[in-house]
A and B are shown apart, each in its own frame.
Chain A
C-alpha cells in the first residue's frame, strides 16, 4: 500500500522568501505523485503531478516539485512566496489502482 508523509504541519515564510514543503512517499510500485492546494472552505486544486515523464515537474502559480526516487521524496518549492500562497498544501500518492492517499497537510503562512 502507498502512503505519504508531510514533514511539518505548519510552515511560515516571509513574502519573497523560498517556499519548501516536504513530502516523502512510500509505494511498492512506481507511484503517481501530486500536490494539491486548499484555500479555506474550498475543495482541493491540483498544483502539479508526477507521472514518470520527467523528474522535475512544473505546476501552476510558480510551484515546482522534484521526484527523487533515491530519497523517496517529492518536495514542493517556489522561489519567492506571495501573500496569496497562504493556504494548506497536500501531497498525495496513488498507484495503478487509483486509490489516492493524502498526507496530513502543511499549512503555509506568508508574513508581510
Chain B
C-alpha cells in the first residue's frame, strides 16, 4: 500500500509570507502528527489530529496551525514566516494514535525561509 505522502518536498519562502504543507496518510489511518526537525532543536512535536480533531498540541506559537479533513489528509499552515522556521517538517500517520501503534513517517517537506 502507498506510504505517507508529503507535498511539496522542498519549498523556499520569504520572511513574512505564509506557507501550507500537505500530508496524505496511509489509507485507513486516522491519526496524523506533525513534527519540526532542525539541527539545533532536533525533532519537536507540533500537533496531532485524529478524526478531524486536534488531539494534542506542542509548544509552538499560534502562527503554526493545522487541520485535518474527512479523508484524514492533513495540512499544516505557518503564517508570518521567520528565518527560524526553516526546517524539515515531518508528518506521521498511524491507525489510532502515535503512542501505542506504529507511526509511519513521510519523507518530509524541507522549508527554507530567506
Q: Which residues of A contact B92 (CB under 8 A)?
A: 43-44
Q: Which residues of B contact A94 (CB under 8 A)?
A: 98-100
Q: Which residues of B contact A46 (CB under 8 A)?
A: 102-104
Q: How large is the interface on A (under 10, 10 to 19, 20 to 34, 35 or more residues)?
A: 20 to 34
Q: A98-B48, A98-B56, A99-B56 are in contact. Are A44 and B99 (CB under 8 A)?
A: no
Q: How far is the CB of A95 from chain B (nearest CB, A)?
A: 7
Question: Contact residues of A with B, CB < 8 Å?
Answer: 32, 34, 36, 41-46, 49, 51, 90, 94-105
Question: Contact residues of B with A, CB < 8 Å?
Answer: 4, 31, 33, 35, 42-45, 48, 55-56, 58, 90, 92, 97-100, 102-108, 110
What are the 6 closest A-B residue pairs judged by CB atoms, nearest first?
Answer: A43-B105, A98-B97, A98-B99, A102-B43, A94-B99, A44-B105
The contact sample of 16 A-B pairs, CB cut-off 8 A, is A41-B108, A42-B108, A43-B92, A46-B104, A51-B100, A94-B99, A98-B33, A98-B55, A99-B45, A99-B56, A99-B58, A99-B98, A100-B33, A100-B45, A102-B42, A105-B42
